[in-house]
Amino acid sequence: MNFTVRKKLAKCRTGILKVGIKEIETPGCSLYTRSGAVPHLTSDVLRTIADLPSAVHLSVQATIDHPGVESTRKVRDCGIKKFLGLEEFITYLSIQDPTQELREGYNEQKCVSVFTPGGRRKIDVNQFITMLEVFQPDIAECLCDTVLASKQTEKRIRKSVDRTLIFLDQCLEEMAKKALDSCNLLGVIEGSSSEKERIRSARETSQRPVAVAERGCALNINLSRKRLKPELNYSPPLQQEEETENKSLRDNRNHSWHEDEEDKGSVFSCDLSPIVNGCTCYSCRNHTRAYVHHLLQTKEMLATVLLMLHNLHEYCQFFSHIRWSIEQGRFEEFKEIVARSNFVS
């Protein structure tokens, strides 16, 4: 795995992260999955979206029960990628599901806890290595004792760093024994709210033969649970700030509507325009806000499919525009347009 800078500006850059023969463009995002599937979308429908990220995000928490090690093992030597039909993607395996609340106080000296619908599951080094052997992810976050920044004592934070380093050493040793060369292991920087411990964690981790991931950075995209709920996100008609070549900096004003907001919802009941005027996603090309509103009101599954298609399309385009604006040396301009339109609230 190696990273090449493609274009560098004062405060940002674009680059390519090469993983084997595949590449991840940065800044970018990964596809969030639950039990190996993008929520609400089938594999075929997913592939209709343009500019899909090249990486998919799996987590131990969301895959340990389904599909699980035993089911995946039946597809001999092919790993979770083939099992899930995600062969063309780079797979990244984290320990915790970033959309789920992290429960504190359940990690132990020799294991890390993840919570699934079936209850608490303890993962030790041997189980984790078995998952790597069977799943064969391209990149995996190492087993780590993560603690939240709130209400942590210095002693507990120090213990979290120590445990994480021990997990890392044990995993590296086991991976060497089993010749797991195809998996790129990411060492995790812990340290929570303690700067001193974060520095110690970074220094110690960087001395091991691994790539380093700071908690909450790297390939981790934290999707809020709200984003996965039925929700109508739309922008007013696009304001083309300036058309250059094939792309334009777009006004990404964002307004959202929730099922429980009846006053706002009634606005959409007779609205025959697409979710976003000018959007090229399947939902906007073929359906109207009124139809999506009706589907939500009647709790049709198609509502979440159409909204996920649109929202994912917008998300992919957003990162594509960020990269393009950096390449063109116009990132500050793009940032101003986004800030002015209250996209980031």
Known binding-site positions for Zn(2+): 279, 281, 284, 310
- The Cα–Cα gap between 65 and 314 comes to 31
Q: Is 281 in the site for Zn ion (CB under 5 A)?
A: yes
Q: How far is the CB of 319 from Zn ion (least distance, A)?
A: 16
Are the beta carbons of 33 and 42 closer than 8 angstroms?
no
Site stretch for Zn ion (CB under 5 A), options 163-171, 251-259, 273-281, 322-330: 273-281
Question: Would you tell me how many other CB atoms lie within 10 Å of the CB of residue 60?
Answer: 24
- For Zn ion, the binding residue among 114, 175, 188, 279 (CB under 5 A) is 279
Q: How far is the CB of 234 from Zn ion (least distance, A)?
A: 8
Q: Does 284 bind Zn ion (CB under 5 A)?
A: yes
Contact by Cβ (8 Å): 241, 325: no
Whose Cβ is closer to Zn ion: residue 26's or residue 283's? 283
Site for Zn ion in 59-78 (CB under 5 A): none
| 316 is a site residue for Zn ion (CB under 5 A) | no
Helix (H) or strand (E) holding 314: helix 301-327
Is residue 305 at the binding interface for Zn ion, with CB under 5 A as the rule? no
Q: How far is the CB of 290 from Zn ion (least distance, A)?
A: 15
Largest CA distance in the chain: 64
Ramachandran region, residue 132 (left: φ > 0; alpha: ψ -120 to 50; beta: rest): alpha
CB 320 within 8 A of CB 25: no
308 lies in the site for Zn ion, by CB under 5 A: no
Quick one: 237 or 329, whose CB is closer to Zn ion? Answer: 237
Minimum CB–partner distance for residue 314 and Zn ion (Å): 7
Q: How far is the CB of 300 from Zn ion (least distance, A)?
A: 18
Stretch of 38-46, 69-77, 94-102, 303-311 lying at the interface with Zn ion (CB under 5 A):
303-311
Residues 206 and 212 sit within 8 Å (Cβ to Cβ)? yes
Residues touching Zn ion, count (CB under 5 A): 4
159 counts as binding Zn ion under rule CB under 5 A: no
Tokens standing for 247? 């792309």
Q: Which stretch binds Zn ion (CB under 5 A): 100-108, 128-136, 207-215, 304-312?
A: 304-312
Cβ of residue 232: shortest distance to Zn ion, in angstroms?
A: 11
- Cα–Cα distance between 40 and 138 in angstroms, integer? 25
Indicate if the alpha-carbon torsion angle 135, 137, 143, 147 is positive or negative: negative
Which CB atom, from 110 or from 287, has the smaller least distance to Zn ion? 287
SS3 235: coil
Axis-axis angle for helices 301-327, 289-297 (nearest 10): 130
Chain residues that interact with Zn ion, rule: CB under 5 A: 279, 281, 284, 310
